Amino acid sequence: MPQWTHQIVDTKSGTRLTNVDVADWPYQTLANTAGQGTCDVVVRGSGLTKSDWDDLLRPRDRTIVHSLDGFAMYAGLIERETWDGASGVSKVASIEMRAMASRRYPFSVPTYNAGFAFDVSGKSWRGIARAIVKAGFHSIPGDSFHLPIILPADEAGTQSKHEPWNEFKLVEDLLREVQDRDGGPDIYFDPVWSSSGKLEWWLKIGSPRLDGPTFESRATGSYIDGLKVIVDGSKQLTGVFGIGSGQGHRRVVGKAGSIAGPSIPDMDAPVSFTKVDVQSEADSLAMAHLKAHRTATTAWSFDMVMDGSWAPHELRPGSTVRIWHDGDERVAAGWRDEYVTSVSGGPSEVMRVGVR
């Protein structure tokens, strides 16, 4: 059976501080946003002092890692601890590294200059996403701004992005303007144990989808369990207004409509992009939203049982699960490829995947 272990590391350096005993550890790791987790850390009987635990459970400065057969599956920066003296257990809530993008600008308080800008040109959108993360997470290793994120190779192209610092767009704002545009790349901070035993986050940027291994199975009589098919038209649209910055007739408004889709009554919706002040960006973001909601979604919901026939440690956002269905009253026979955008795990022998 797969073996889980749990570690606490220093967030800024990735240095492993200690292994800990954990009684329960539900988590979810996500592409394009931050996943979260909670775990019950067994404090009583550990042999560690109060001073030791004060150091190990420092919010944000420490990260809890859940590893499966030696591979990091989830790494969450500690956000909150709830100590239960009756049980001797601390319930620890954590959140993935992507959350730091909502607490970072492409500059810091000491480096801020009202006349400066984040200015990148001659890049692909993947290259621009890389530049955003570099500006928001890298400085000098060892200082409090720098975090151990491993960047992919740079990529040239024809795109550019100019964002004055005095507009105070967060790194998260900038990343969303790239990933959420029409054809924008998926983005994932993948926790990895380095060869030296330190935790690193490898930045994965899709083209536009992330790369990952493919798992192939039948819908029945296999490690696929509890398969359900959900058809959802509740968010279906025929037109989108992308509401950008500005007031009155000076407001930037992106428009998207008239794309092929099922014949349904017209249904328009506004989507807020309050920090977008470029017309072409507002149009692209509106079009991306419309393409995602023009038709009803068909999603296959299922679990993957860790039965020894596949490698659970390889399952990541960006993986593909290829399923053969024999066909029934509502599903045609054939293969279906499901692109994984989230993975949830814990102490059970089941992984739950989110797909699109």
pLDDT, tens digit, 9 for 90 and up, residues 25-77: 999 999 999 999 999 999 999 999 999 999 999 999 999 999 999 999 999 99
User: Burial code of 343-356, b = ≥16 C-beta within 10 A, e = fewer?
Assistant: bbbbeeebbbbbbe
CA angle, residues 258, 208, 73, in degrees to nearest 5: 130
141 band by pLDDT with thresholds 50, 70 and 90: confident
Per-residue tokens: 38: 């909670």
Look up residue 4 and give its amino acid.
W
Q: Give the mean pLDDT of the chain.
A: 94
pLDDT value at position 317? 97
Q: How many other CB atoms are there within 10 angstroms of residue 246's CB atom?
A: 13
pLDDT, tens digit, 9 for 90 and up, residues 192-232: 999 999 999 999 999 999 999 999 999 888 999 988 889 99
- Helix, strand, or coil here: 209? coil
* Domain edges within the chain: 4-95, 101-205, 214-232+297-355, 239-293
How far apart, in whole angstroms, are the C-alpha atoms of residue 78 and residue 9? 10
- CA dihedral (24, 30, 35, 41) in degrees, to 10, reads 20
Q: Do 346 and 106 contact (CB within 8 A), yes or no?
A: no
Reported CATH class of domain 4-95: mainly beta
What size, in residues, is the chain? 356
pTM of the model: 0.89
18 band by pLDDT with thresholds 50, 70 and 90: very high
**Bridge pairing between strands 214-218 and 320-325:** parallel
pLDDT value at position 350? 94
pLDDT value at position 213? 96
